């Protein structure tokens, strides 16, 4: 392998500390979404972040626009979500940049509109070290591999027994 090939391999290599930072960044981002902690979500995003979901149907530019979308779409206490990512494929693309692909599964319960949504997708993220020295998400989005919606009325016996916004998240089963 020549010098150029070695430089490309070195650039693509991701040390364990950086890998850990990027994994925790993604986990904080999703925890913030699921707990509706919009300040936490905002802190994971670059000021000029681009967010694009649903195959490009939803497109937002800038931290304020992305947070505005989240609060409008998922800010109600009657909108419950669980996002889980696995199988990170992380790659350094430059001294201060990296990319990531994540397998996501999610479940959303909308008590106002009475539906359960379940789905899967692959998130494609870009990361950058901001001037404060912290990794942040500079671009994020996904395209669904599948999604299905079930009206809660079609799920006999379905009932919500715990919510993070009622009874401090305690289950009514105990």
The CATH class, in words, for 3-161 is alpha beta
The pLDDT tens digits for 123-138 are 999 999 999 999 999 9
Question: What integer pLDDT is reported at residue 8 of this predicted model?
Answer: 52
Q: Measuring CA to CA, which residue among 42, 81, 82, 83 is closest to residue 65?
A: 42
Tokens representing residue 54 in the block: 């649903």
Helix (H, G, I), strand (E, B) or coil at 162: coil
Yes or no: say if 135 and 129 are a contact pair by the CB < 8 Å rule.
yes
Question: What integer pLDDT is reported at residue 1 of this predicted model?
Answer: 54
Give CA separation, 7 vs 10, 87, 89, 131, 137, in Å: 5, 26, 20, 25, 25
Domain-wise residue ranges, the chain: 3-161
Q: Is the pTM of this model over 0.85?
A: yes
The pLDDT tens digits for 34-51 are 999 999 999 999 999 999
Residue 54 banded pLDDT, cuts 50, 70, 90? confident
Give CA separation, 20 vs 14, 23, 38, 69, 158, in Å: 10, 5, 23, 28, 38
Question: What integer pLDDT is reported at residue 5 of this predicted model?
Answer: 52
């Amino acid at each position: 392998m020549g010098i150029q090939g070695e430089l490309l391999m070195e650039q693509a290599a991701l040390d364990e500390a950086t890998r850990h930072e990027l994994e925790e960044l993604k986990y904080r981002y999703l925890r913030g979404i699921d707990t509706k902690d919009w300040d936490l979500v905002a802190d994971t995003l670059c000021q000029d972040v681009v967010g694009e979901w649903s195959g490009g149907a939803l497109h937002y530019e800038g931290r304020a626009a992305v947070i505005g979308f989240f609060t409008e779409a998922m800010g109600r206490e009657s909108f419950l979500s669980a996002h889980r990512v696995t199988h990170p494929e992380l790659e350094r693309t430059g001294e201060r940049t990296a990319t990531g692909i994540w397998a996501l599964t999610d479940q959303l319960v909308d008590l106002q509109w009475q539906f359960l949504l379940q789905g899967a997708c692959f998130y494609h993220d870009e990361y950058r070290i901001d001037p404060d020295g912290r990794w942040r998400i500079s671009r994020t989005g996904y395209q669904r591999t599948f999604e299905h919606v079930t009206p809660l009325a079609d799920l006999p016996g379905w009932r919500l027994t715990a919510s993070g916004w009622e009874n401090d998240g305690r289950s009514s089963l105990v």
